[in-house]
A and B are shown apart, each in its own frame.
Chain A
Amino acid sequence: MTYVNTTSQPKERRFTSPLKIAEDQMLIGLTLLGQVSYLMWRTFGYMIRLQIDWGESVRQGYMIGVKSLVVVGITALFTGLAMSLQISRELVSFGADTSIGGVVSLALVREIGPITAGVIVAGRVGSSIAAELTTMMITEQIDALKVMRVDPIRFLVVPRYTAALIVIPTLSTYAMFLGLLAGIFIAKSAANVPPDTFLDSVRQTILDRDFSVHYLKSIINATVIIFFSCAIGLNTRGGAEDVGIATTRAIVWTMISIFILNFVVTSLTYAPR
């Protein structure tokens, strides 16, 4: 049977060279970086002058932090369980079971804690912010703010960033402690290492600097999540389809940036000299 398409003409197939695609993506990336830089400049300006809506910041803290507790908790717990199991197995085979606590805590404090909280919040909150702000753009709510002489950056971005600066490091700490609890449980049940021995190893291994790096990474994650998702949301126009596109862009850009910047911080602080 032959089907004839009577409604539309077949689309002309065009070949786009990989170089052109790379050039386009580079341009999109540079534009986004410019938008993020502008947003950061304006937001820091308001924050330095303490022009912060504290009530809205608390509401955003609840939206970003409290509503992420369960998902971050479950993720951190199971990541901690799996990682501790792998580490315990290898260290027991080398007869180094008393070092399980140190190795698990090093991984948790330096990498797993900030990355787990960052990635989960980027997926849950970054996408939601991008979708919300894009919808506000499309439904002219941002225009309404401008007509009322209310700066959308002060009204929408500053409270979200203020809240994220407090709740994302808190979520990272929470993820780290849950991972540690998982480690204690696995060390006891799989390698028969008592909790006291586990915690002694933690105390001997972890340095103050590790906590500084942990919080530095958390603050960088908060900055990336809020500014990328807000910049994408506030610069998207169009219709319902564009809300989906903006959401995807926000997740992709924040995730990529979190992993790249995590590596940069690690290489600057822990690389062998």
Chain B
Amino acid sequence: MNSEPVLQVKNIHKAFGDRKILQGVSFDVYAGEMLGLIGPSGCGKSTILKIICGLLEPDSGEVIRRSDEIGLVFQGSALLNSLSVRNNLALALDSRNLSRVEEDKIIREKLALVELADFMYASPTKLSGGQQKRTSFARAIVNDPKIILYDEPTTGLDPVMSTVIEDYMIVLSKQLSAASIVVTHQHSTWTRTTNRVVLMFEGKIVWQGTPEEGIKSSDPFIKQFASGSREGPMLATKI
């Protein structure tokens, strides 16, 4: 792991109206590392991702990125249904002014990584949920990003497909040596794929460590989250 982080999130604050979503969140992510951002629904995980990739502006704090190439895998795949699989990926290559032949070569290569090379000219509407998710993976990595963000990548998938997607995440992260952030509340996803975990609650980081430490920890926050218990500081009514 390199000594200099690829991504630094420093003391981010964000509110929507009176509702404080993020209250001083800070963390670093290094090349080749997969950081799990976990926590109950509404704790600000997805907001952090949107701030990192520039879709939202923080009220205060800063995000330092040592690469402009960011790939984002959306929770619902977010493929453009009016375009073919090929053209969905080609959109991400638009700013590079490549020839059609060069574009096709890159697109075929990325689709092969997720075992979808045969679906290059298919419409996203004809793909299954798992295939759509894999297409959105291919789109996220088409520019060989050094930062990959996954927003709830396994939510809504069956356990077998979740495992397949988790395997892709592990392989892609290693192949690209990218700094990855996985926003999830799926137990298997953060325990299988991540090197380090940050637990958020009510817009703050309340615990961080490795997944192994998280499972064994006696910290009341991570203990409750890992076990899915109603007993603990994250009251069910607040969640």
Of A135-143, A164-172, A227-235, A247-255, the one contacting chain B is: A135-143
Return the CB mask of A146-179 against B: 1 if under 8 Å, else 0. 1111100001000000000000000000000000
Judge whether A144 is part of the interface by a CB distance below 8 angstroms. yes
Q: Taking beta carbons and an 8 Å cutoff, which residues of A are in contact with B?
A: 136, 139-141, 143-150, 155
Residues of A within 8 A of B78 (CB): 139-141, 143-144
In the complex, residue of chain B having the shortest beta-carbon distance to the beta carbon of A147: B72
Within 8 A of A (CB), among B19-47: none
Residues of B within 8 A of A149 (CB): 94-95
Sample 27 A-B pairs with CB under 8 A, ordered by A number: A139-B78, A140-B75, A140-B76, A140-B78, A141-B79, A141-B80, A143-B50, A143-B72, A143-B74, A143-B78, A144-B72, A144-B74, A144-B78, A144-B79, A144-B80, A145-B80, A146-B55, A147-B54, A147-B55, A147-B70, A147-B72, A148-B92, A148-B94, A148-B139, A149-B95, A150-B94, A155-B91
Return the CB mask of B64-103 against A: 1 if under 8 Å, else 0. 0000001010111011100000000001101100000000
The reply to whether B92 and A143 form a contact with Cβ atoms under 8 Å apart is: no
Q: How far is the CB of B86 from chain A (nearest CB, A)?
A: 14
The reply to whether B76 and A150 form a contact with Cβ atoms under 8 Å apart is: no
C-alpha gap A14/B54 in the complex (Å): 41
In the complex, residue of chain B having the shortest beta-carbon distance to the beta carbon of A63: B82
The reply to whether B75 and A145 form a contact with Cβ atoms under 8 Å apart is: no
Judge whether B53 is part of the interface by a CB distance below 8 angstroms. yes
Residues of A within 8 A of B95 (CB): 149
Please give me the 6 A-B residue pairs with the lowest Cβ-Cβ distance, nearest first.
Answer: A144-B78, A140-B78, A148-B92, A147-B72, A140-B74, A141-B78
In the complex, residue of chain B having the shortest beta-carbon distance to the beta carbon of A135: B81
Which of A141, A145, A147, A155 contacts B53, CB < 8 Å? A147
Residues of A within 8 A of B70 (CB): 147
Q: How far is the CB of A41 from chain B (nearest CB, A)?
A: 21
C-alpha gap A179/B139 in the complex (Å): 50
Residues of B within 8 A of A145 (CB): 80, 91
Q: How far is the CB of B11 from chain A (nearest CB, A)?
A: 24
The reply to whether B55 and A143 form a contact with Cβ atoms under 8 Å apart is: yes
C-alpha gap A165/B86 in the complex (Å): 30
C-alpha gap A144/B76 in the complex (Å): 11
C-alpha gap A149/B142 in the complex (Å): 13
C-alpha gap A36/B198 in the complex (Å): 42
Q: How far is the CB of B136 from chain A (nearest CB, A)?
A: 8
C-alpha gap A147/B56 in the complex (Å): 11
C-alpha gap A24/B55 in the complex (Å): 29
C-alpha gap A143/B54 in the complex (Å): 10
C-alpha gap A145/B87 in the complex (Å): 12
Residues of A within 8 A of B80 (CB): 136, 141, 144-145
Q: How far is the CB of B50 from chain A (nearest CB, A)?
A: 8
In the complex, residue of chain A having the shortest beta-carbon distance to the beta carbon of B68: A149
C-alpha gap A139/B76 in the complex (Å): 7
C-alpha gap A146/B92 in the complex (Å): 10
In the complex, residue of chain B having the shortest beta-carbon distance to the beta carbon of A139: B76
In the complex, residue of chain B having the shortest beta-carbon distance to the beta carbon of A59: B82
Q: How far is the CB of A221 from chain B (nearest CB, A)?
A: 24
Kindly name the residue among B72, B78, B94 whose own CB sees the greatest number of chain A CB atoms within 10 A: B78
Residues of A within 8 A of B79 (CB): 141, 144
Residues of B within 8 A of A140 (CB): 74-76, 78
C-alpha gap A139/B124 in the complex (Å): 14
